[in-house]
Amino acid sequence: MHVSPKKKIAKAIEIIKEEIVITEENPFYITGHSISIVEFELLKYAEFLYDFKLKE
Amino acid sequence: MRYAIVLLFDKKSSDTIFRVFKRFKEKKISHKGLMNDLKIKPHITLSVYDSFDVELAKERLNQFCRNYNKFKIQISSFGYFPSEKSVLFLNPKASNELLEIQQNVFELFEDFETEWNPKTWVPHCTLCMYLQKKK
């Protein structure tokens, strides 16, 4: 069954809102933890080769 | 072969974003741009190279990361690039720390060609691509 792009975007936004609560007063924080070298080919594969942790 | 230098997140943040990836797959949000299918970890891309020396990069990044503290990134919204790739992304606040690390990675590998210039870099964490089929 074909689902219109608009409906997909609406559904995607609904999922994000359910999983990640973002409000002006309450932003979502993530921590930049490490840097990685990734070998990739767009839409085919991505291999995370090496991770380098940032300092605590 | 293409290579990217990316910023990864702590486990708690990554797990939250992985849940979004998983639910996008369950709901078939995209026909080919699902991070879950492509085995992509949640990340912010700092730079991309067509030609790269991985061994040299390992040495440089090993040293570089020893001098860099972990830092918090505020996500205050999400957004959508309505381009051919139709990318849905989390929108991090362009803090000094975030801009600085991208600038420094760019300078660390300035002997390799990249289009990911700090002057035009737009930090984002891709959640999904190709929400629309190519016409």
pLDDT in tens, B13-72: 999 999 999 999 998 888 787 888 888 999 999 999 999 999 999 999 999 999 899 999
Structural domain contains residue B135: no
- Residue whose entry in the numeric block shows the structure tokens 């990739």: A40
For chain A, give every domain's residue range: 5-53
User: What CATH number did the domain enclosing B56 receive?
Assistant: 3.90.1140.10
- Sign for the CA dihedral angle at A27, A33, A38, A44 comes to negative
- Residue whose entry in the numeric block shows the structure tokens 């992509």: B40
Count Cα atoms within 13 angstroms, Cβ side, for A27.
14
pLDDT one-digit tens code per residue, A8-20: 889 999 999 999 9
Structural domain contains residue B67: yes
Structural domain contains residue B11: yes
Domains of chain B: total? 1
Contact criterion met (CB < 8 Å) for B13 and A8: no
Structural domain contains residue B134: no
Could you tell me if A26 lies within 8 Å of chain B, comparing CB atoms? no
Report chain A residues whose CB lies below 8 A from the CB of B88.
9, 12, 16
pTM value surpassing 0.90:
yes
Q: For residue B29, give the nearest of A11, A28, A39 by CB distance.
A: A11
pLDDT one-digit tens code per residue, A25-40: 888 999 999 999 999 9
Could you tell me if A25 lies within 8 Å of chain B, comparing CB atoms? no
Report chain B residues whose CB lies below 8 A from the CB of A42.
2
What's the average model confidence in pLDDT over B127-131?
88
